[in-house]
Amino acid sequence: MIRVLCHSSFLALRVCVLLWITAGLAHQCTAQGEPAADAASDELVLSNGDTLHGKVVDALDGKVNFHSDPLGDISVPWEKIKELHTSQKFAVVGKDVKLRSKHEAKQVPTGTLDVAGNAVTVHGEGAPSAAPIPVKDAPYIVDEPTLNKQIYHEPGFFSAWNGAATAGATVVKATQNQYTFSGGLGLARVVPTAPWLNPRNRTTADFSGSYGKITQPAYLSDGVLVPAIVTKTAIYHIDGERDQYMSPRLYVLGMTMFDHNFAQNLQLQQIYGGGLGWTFLKTENQQADVKGTIQYEKQHFMNAGPGDNQDLVGSTFALSYILHAKLLTFTQELGYIPAYNNPRAYSVTESNVVTFPTYKNLGFSLGTLDSYLNNPPTSLPPTKRNSFQFTMGLSYAIKSKY
């Protein structure tokens, strides 16, 4: 009896060892062949029958952005996709959906996706599947965390800013010594940052400056000392604006502006105001806005006489335009600033900037700034009312993610 039990235990041990070896060989064969698909991965079937396993990032502008370990990040047009199956949840934002509030966001269908026959089926958790949505009517498909982040959260103060910084310089050492420095910084932040959502607010900040000096050293002429001559130019501009949208195109705004122009004898002009703005043109590549404000304006001039410095009540009527083309970016600002308590104290400004991208975030920019001040004080030499400057230099694109 004891011998039978021992023999049976020996057979069981041999069977266990054999099963263990078989499982190891099967695992080795799987590792040497095609890797098994992760049960939690998304599946993309191309029109030619190829199947990719990985992760769907999003689907925007007619393309599905997909990540797989062997291929990395790829973008596939919808017309080249036969089927798509996701294990993670996505929100499908239709082309006619206008997300103006958090309540409306709850109406966006969210869940795992099955795409077949050019239609998207959303499988919501604990709810019956919604009717299939044609792919052409679902231009924006994003994961659920991204949708919640864009709708329910605000970026930190130092996040989500985009813009450009420019700088240029000229140095001449000859009979006359000349130094010229120019630069600028333009930043803008639109919340939400996603282009497929209607904006809630927008914040902009701009700085531009140009400083130059030409020095003619002193010299002797027929034994008479001719003193040195120094000619200086300095033009600085700073502005900031906060827009709060009441609709996708209409917004209320608060703004401030500071200007210094040595050529126009202007020590400092300060403006504080608020008003309304309207985006009358908005496409994928361009945008144009008109704005109007009621404001307080203070002008302080250099070498001012009695009555030259002004405290004014007026407005700013402005037009802004931006174009994003393949080979360049063009921005233009036009402004007319009247004063109601002194009709002579008005000014007009125009700025234009063209930036050509060259390598990664670097570019080359050309810019003009034309300003007209109608009421500069009398001075010697006589002060011209119009000031024009042309600048060029290198630019660096600032792109902050959120």
Is a pLDDT exceeding 60 seen at residue 11?
no
359-381 mean pLDDT: 90
Span 274-289, pLDDT tens digits = 999 999 999 989 999 9
Is a pLDDT exceeding 90 seen at residue 7?
no
The answer, yes or no, to whether the previous bond of 35 is cis (omega within 30 of 0) is no
Span 166-180, pLDDT tens digits = 999 988 888 888 899
pLDDT band at 14 (very low <50, low <70, confident <90, very high): very low
% of the chain residues with pLDDT over 70: 87
* Cα 103 to Cα 121: distance, rounded to the nearest angstrom: 23
369-386 mean pLDDT: 87
Q: Give the pLDDT of residue 97.
A: 63
Is a pLDDT exceeding 60 seen at residue 235?
yes
Q: Give the pLDDT of residue 371.
A: 93
DSSP codes, 278-326: EEEEE-SSEEEEEEEEEEEEEEEETT--TTTSEEEEE--EEEEEEEE-S
Q: Give the pLDDT of residue 107.
A: 74
* Cα 84 to Cα 64: distance, rounded to the nearest angstrom: 10
Contact 222, 196 (CB under 8 A): no
Angstrom distances, CA of residue 52 to CA of 44, 112, 119: 5, 17, 19
pLDDT band at 81 (very low <50, low <70, confident <90, very high): very high
Which range has the top average pLDDT, 38-42, 141-145, 220-224, 364-368? 364-368
Q: What is the pTM (predicted TM-score) of this model? A: 0.77
Contact 302, 292 (CB under 8 A): no
Q: Which domains does the chain have, with CATH numbers?
A: 42-152 (no CATH), 162-399 (2.40.160.40)
Is a pLDDT exceeding 70 seen at residue 12?
no
Is a pLDDT exceeding 70 seen at residue 380?
yes
Span 125-139, pLDDT tens digits = 766 667 888 988 888
107-127 mean pLDDT: 86
Q: Give the pLDDT of residue 394.
A: 94
Q: Give the pLDDT of residue 18.
A: 37
Q: Give the pLDDT of residue 367.
A: 92
Which residues are within 8 A (CB) of 238 and not within 5 positions of it... i.e. 6 or more apart?
A: 206, 207, 257, 258, 259
Contact 376, 265 (CB under 8 A): yes
Q: Give the pLDDT of residue 156.
A: 86
Q: Counting beta carbons within 10 angstroms of the beta carbon of residue 225, is it exposed (0 to 12), middle (13 to 18) or buried (19 or more)?
A: exposed
Q: Give the pLDDT of residue 127.
A: 66
pLDDT band at 28 (very low <50, low <70, confident <90, very high): very low
Average pLDDT, the chain: 85
Q: Name which of 50-59, 132-141, 306-315, 331-340 the model is least confident about.
A: 132-141
Q: Give the pLDDT of residue 52.
A: 93
Angstrom distances, CA of residue 343 to CA of 183, 310, 315, 347, 372: 33, 12, 12, 10, 15
Is a pLDDT exceeding 90 seen at residue 33?
no
Q: Is 267 left (phi over 0), alpha (psi -120 to 50) or beta?
A: alpha
The answer, yes or no, to whether the previous bond of 192 is cis (omega within 30 of 0) is yes
Angstrom distances, CA of residue 12 to CA of 5, 8, 18, 19: 11, 6, 10, 11
pLDDT band at 101 (very low <50, low <70, confident <90, very high): low
61-73 mean pLDDT: 90
Cα 153 from chain centroid (whole Å): 18
Angstrom distances, CA of residue 55 to CA of 33, 68, 74, 115, 362: 22, 6, 11, 15, 32
Q: Give the pLDDT of residue 99.
A: 63
213-242 mean pLDDT: 89
pLDDT band at 19 (very low <50, low <70, confident <90, very high): very low
Taking every pair of C-alpha atoms in the chain, what is the biggest distance, in angstroms?
138
Extract the tokens encoding 8: 């049976």
